Amino acid sequence: MKLQQLSVFLENRPGRLGAPLEAIAAAGINILTLSLADTAQFGILRLIVREWDKAKAILEQAGWIVNLTEVVAVEVPDRPGGLAGVLDVIEGAELNIEYVYAFSLRRDDKAVLIFRFEHPDQAIQVLLGQGLHVIDGDELMGYVG
C-alpha cells in the first residue's frame, strides 16, 4: 500500500530545481507529483515518479544524493471539510505526520494527499479501519495513464 518517494538534496540558489527534473524527463520518466521543502540555505525536492528505481539510479549516477522514503497516498473527498475529515481520523489515532502534500491530479470529485507518517504501516491499518481509501502504486499509476 506504500509508495516510494524520492528525496533529492538541493542548494537553495537559482536554477537548482530544473536540473534533476530535466534528468528524469530526459529518461522518459513521468513525474506524478512533487513538493519542495526549503530553508534559506538548502531545499529538499520530493518526487513521486512512475519508475522510482530507474529515476533513483539516474539521479545518483548524475551525482545527486537521493533518499528513498515510504509514503502513503490517501484519497480525500474534494469538497469543503474533506481534508478535515481525514485529519480527524489521523489525530484521533494519534498518528504522527512528518509532512503532507497534495497530489496534483484530481479525478471525479476526489483529491489525493501524500502523507509522510512516522510509522506508515500502523497509519495504513488505522486509515483502512476507518474506511478511508489508501491508494497503492498500481492504482495511482492507472490514474495517470
Cell of 97: 505526520
Closer of 9 and 143 to another protein (Cβ): 9
Cα(73)–Cα(124) distance, integer angstroms: 10
For residues 118 and 121, which CB has a smaller minimum distance to another protein in the complex?
A: 118
What residues pair up with 37 in beta bridges, in sequence order? 44
| 77, 79, 81, 84: CA torsion to nearest 10 | 40
CB of 77 to another protein, least distance (A): 28
For 102, the grid coordinates are 497534495
Q: Which is nearer to another protein, 98 or 139 (CB)?
A: 98
Q: Which residues pair with 71 in a beta bridge?
A: 3
Q: How far is the CB of 7 from another protein (least distance, A)?
A: 4
* Binding residues vs another protein (CB under 8 A): 5, 7, 9-11, 16, 37-39, 41-42, 44, 46, 60-61, 63-67, 69, 98-99, 116
Nearest distance, CB of residue 99 and another protein, angstroms:
7
Q: At closest approach, how far in Å is the CB of 117 from another protein?
A: 12
DSSP code, position 8: E
CB closer to another protein out of 57 and 128: 57
Handedness of CA 72, 117, 112, 47 (dihedral sign): negative
